[in-house]
Amino acid sequence: MAMAYGGLLLWLRTFTGSPLMDGVIGIVLGLYICSHPAANAVDLLFFQRYSLQQLTSGWSGLGWLALNMLTLLMGWLMIATGAARLAARTA
């Protein structure tokens, strides 16, 4: 979803024609993308549904952790892109 939105912004330069709406959509999309990996991180850190030793012991656990981090990074990039669109509107 983030790649599709980012690709459309690169190709069209604007998604809705309004920098305000482009920024809002980017921020909301970024927050949505970050929500599941953040929930997994809270489970890992506080509720200990998964132990860190159990996750890092095998390739499947490391892959799960890496995919969560990649998804979180993509969400942060979408939030930053949306914030940049909002800031560009005021400049």
Please report where in the chains the tokens 């970050």 appear, as a residue: 34
Question: What predicted TM-score, i.e. pTM, was given to this entire model?
Answer: 0.77
Using one digit for the tens of pLDDT, what is the confidence trace for 26-56? 899 999 999 999 888 888 777 766 666 666 6
List the domain boundaries for the chain. 22-86
| Torsion angle of the four alpha carbons 10, 13, 18, 23, in this order, in degrees rounded to the nearest 10 | 30
Say whether pLDDT at 70 is over 90: yes
Q: What is the largest CA-CA distance in the chain?
A: 50
Say whether pLDDT at 21 is over 70: yes
Predicted pLDDT of residue 14: 80
